[in-house]
Amino acid sequence: MQDLFSLKGKVALVTGAAYGIGFAVAEALAKAGAAIAFNCRSREHMNTALAEYAKKGISAKGYLCDVTDEEQVKNMVEDIAKTLGTIDILVNNAGIIKRIPMVEMTAEEFREVVDIDLNAPFLVSKAVIPGMIQKGGGKIINICSMMSELGRETVSAYAAAKGGLKMLTKNIASEYGEYNIQCNGIGPGYIATPQTAPLRERQADGSRHPFDKFIIGKTPAARWGTPEDLMGPAVFLASAASDFVNGHILYVDGGILAYIGKQP
């Protein structure tokens, strides 16, 4: 059973894995035996992340790369193949969110979110799939969201991109499943990361943020998730344990999508 979940000898690329969800996923894959590569757009962030990986005893390799730039992505994938080997596992994690009412959002802001959250996973997947085919298989994990299923005020671009990423996941599975490539998604619920910190800030009177109270009330687990909650699902979808799972979105949300909420 341990061998079924082992990633020993595998090479994993986790985009945007300098902190938060991406860092936790990369840490989990490393602990399961995989060699880790990740990208950053800034050398400063990359160096900070490398120091954090070293503290965990993980010998990760960082690459300066903007995943919305096809040429940079191609070069990064080629560099990884030369230094670590052909990529076996890709986790498309890099993403941003802009919380702006739709009528106040500029077209440029909308495009930026879609470019990073949807176009980039397309570009990186496109770059790694040929190597996976040549190697005889591979795993692609797209970090989706509950917003792949639901809408909410102020996140039109994010929800549109994550909904598109869900369908990209299904299409990659459909198009490349015959090559022993499994493409699945993880849909985190509300996770306590720096990105969601503003939604959890205490108010001036010491009370909880209204959105914080709302999420706790909507989640059967009665808490925010942690990046560590995503470790097990990531290892499962990256390992041989999921070889007949394809085109699936695994929602790790504490039960929010299953729950209508408490009666007032």
Per-residue b or e along 239-248, where b marks 16 or more CB atoms closer than 10 Å to that residue's CB: beebeeebbb
CB 53 within 8 A of CB 63: no
CB 76 within 8 A of CB 70: no
Instruction: Specify which residues 64 forms β-bridges with.
Output: 40
Residue holding tokens 């399961």? 32
Is the C-alpha dihedral spanning 137, 127, 195, 114 positive or negative?
A: negative
Distances 197 to 104, 115, 154, 165, 194 between C-alpha atoms, Å: 23, 23, 16, 24, 5
d(CA 184, CA 242): 9
Determine which one of 53, 63, 158, 190 is catalytic: 158
Whether 259 sits among the annotated catalytic residues: the reply is: no
d(CA 239, CA 79): 24
The catalytic site residues sit at 158
